[in-house]
Amino acid sequence: RFGVQIWLAPGMNIHRNVLCGRNFEYYSEDPLLSGKIASGITRGVQKHPTCGVTLKHFACNNQETNRFRSNSVVSERALREIYLKGFEICTKESDPVAVMTSYNLLNGVHTAHRADLIETVLRGEWGFRGFVMSDWVTTTIGGDHKHPPISASGSMKAGNDIMMPGNKDHLADMIAALDDETAAYPINRDVLVRNASRVIEAALSLVLLDVF
């Protein structure tokens, strides 16, 4: 009705603490219930031509206090059985158009920089076919005495396909890291083509749905 094609929802994070300021967006403390509800919503939205959803915030973004710099320390079992399970269910059952990474760190590494999370698990294990975006103004967060800041080049290398909302600093960072092995996160043309192709494929699929 309003010409919005990509909905920045559903929110998939777990109700880990009753004080989380965005629990109203999320579904449950139960990952099975969260996954099933989000899966139904995703199918409902995407049955409409040109419309797609964005699963967020991937992953372990379960508090609002200090969410820009919080470090979620999670065991492999808890990660798989609780914090990723809803995302997995929805991805496998409903084929969402997009996924959004989160502000927080996961075991000391920004989720936007985790290729193991984005490429290995989301795409490799679950078969996700859409595109991945960063959360808004992620790269303006900066680092601290323990952890480096989030960068566009690091995010692109890890499998984020687009930085939101995008700015000249992102472009400058990527150009500086292009074919420079001394950069913190060196990237090459293949990385940029891979990421751009995913965004283009998603855009074309939504447009073609409208045409045909």
Could you give phi then psi for residue 50, rounded to 5 degrees?
A: 75, 10
pLDDT of residue 145: 66
Residues annotated catalytic, as ranges: 135
Residues with Cβ < 8 Å from 182, sequence gap 6 or more? Answer: none
Residues 147 and 69: their CA atoms lie apart, in Å, by: 9
Could you give phi then psi for residue 101, rounded to 5 degrees?
A: -75, 175
Residues 184 and 38: their CA atoms lie apart, in Å, by: 36
First to last CA, the chain: 19
- With residue 55 as reference, give the H or E element that holds it: strand 52-58
| Chain centroid to CA 102 | 6
Q: Per residue in 30-66, pLDDT tens?
A: 999 999 999 999 999 999 888 999 999 999 999 988 8
> Residue 123's closest CA among 94, 151, 91, 153?
91
pLDDT of residue 143: 64
Structure-token pair, residue 86: 């809803």
Structure-token pair, residue 22: 């965005």
Tokens 């372990």 found at: 60
Q: Helix (H, G, I), strand (E, B), or coil: what is residue 57?
A: strand
Query: Quick one: average pLDDT of 71-89?
Result: 97
pLDDT of residue 189: 96
- Strand arrangement of the beta sheet that strand 109-110 belongs to: 71-72, 105-106, 109-110
Confidence of residue 4 (pLDDT cuts 50, 70, 90): confident
Q: Per residue in 92-138, pLDDT tens?
A: 999 999 999 999 999 999 999 999 999 999 999 999 999 999 999 98
Q: Per residue in 157-207, pLDDT tens?
A: 999 999 999 999 999 999 999 999 999 999 999 999 999 999 999 999 887
